[in-house]
Amino acid sequence: MYLTLFFCFFLEGCSPKAHLEEVQTLGKKCGFESEKIQTHFYDLMMFIKLGDPHLIHIYLEGDGFAWFNKYEMAEDPTPDDPMGFRVACEDTSNATLIFLTRPCHYGLKRSCSYQDWTFERFSQKILNAYREVLDLLKTRYPHAVFHLYGYSGGAFLALLLGEKEPDITKITTFAGNLDHKVWTRFQGYTPLTGSLDIEDFEALSKIEQIHYIGENDLEIPVDVYQSYQNHFQKETHNLKFIFVKNFEHTSDWPLFWNEQQTY
């Protein structure tokens, strides 16, 4: 399924409501049903496409529009292009498919502050929200294993969940930010104070991981992947890094994923 970019992608200033309507339209085209999830602090949109109840593929969106410019935080972090969801739409497996938005996106701003999509985008509070959603899914699918898929900043959330949740057996990332400290230092950005770091690399070493890297990605440099890999020392048999020729950070990852699954 090859889906064009959204109308809002070509415009500036689309409202969160307009973005939500478009992402819901995308969901319907892809066969997903939408559901609003209330966690302790945040509201999230969850899109579900039913399949094998024993295998759940969960897709996590990127950071979205965190900063208006180098000095001003964005008023709303909703992404113009929901790349993570468009990648999910190209999943051709028989698994049950789940796409989760990020906190504060699409106008769902209960308990939100600017910090939640900037310096604290990977905070304990945000991680807890996703763990609450996982707990909900475990009650619905008690015999399932979970595979996580993350685009850009969604990749780091997948890793944070992977080190805590034993039911997660595979993590796949696309242009993933696997080390936000190296990323901010390389780009000259302010460090993400208030965000978590990965602590249990031993737990992650037991999870099969595939990280797709854009060969021409100027947003997430190779240093990020090298730093992440170095934490595993000799325990790298579950790690695979694949460079995608001529790809940048915002290249057509959905098309890539569609074609990759045919191999």
From 3.40.50.1820, 3.30.1330.40, 3.40.630.10, 3.20.20.150, which CATH number describes the 12-260 domain? 3.40.50.1820
Question: Any idea where the domains of the chain sit in the sequence?
Answer: 12-260
Q: pLDDT confidence of 254, banded at 50, 70, 90?
A: very high
Is 14's pLDDT higher than 60?
Answer: yes
| Structure tokens, 193 | 């104070």
pLDDT, residue 11, reads 47
pLDDT digits over 42-61, tens only?
999 999 999 999 999 999 99
Q: What is the mean pLDDT of residues 12-38?
A: 88
Return phi, psi of residue 33, to 5°.
-105, 145
Q: By C-alpha distance, which of 60, 62, 3, 7 is closest to 31? A: 3
Average pLDDT over residues 175-184: 98
Mean pLDDT of the chain: 93
Instruction: Please state the pTM of the whole predicted model.
Output: 0.94
Which pLDDT score, from 0 to 100, does residue 234 have?
Answer: 78
Sign of dihedral through CA atoms 162, 177, 197, 100? negative
Binned at pLDDT 50, 70 and 90, residue 118 comes out as very high
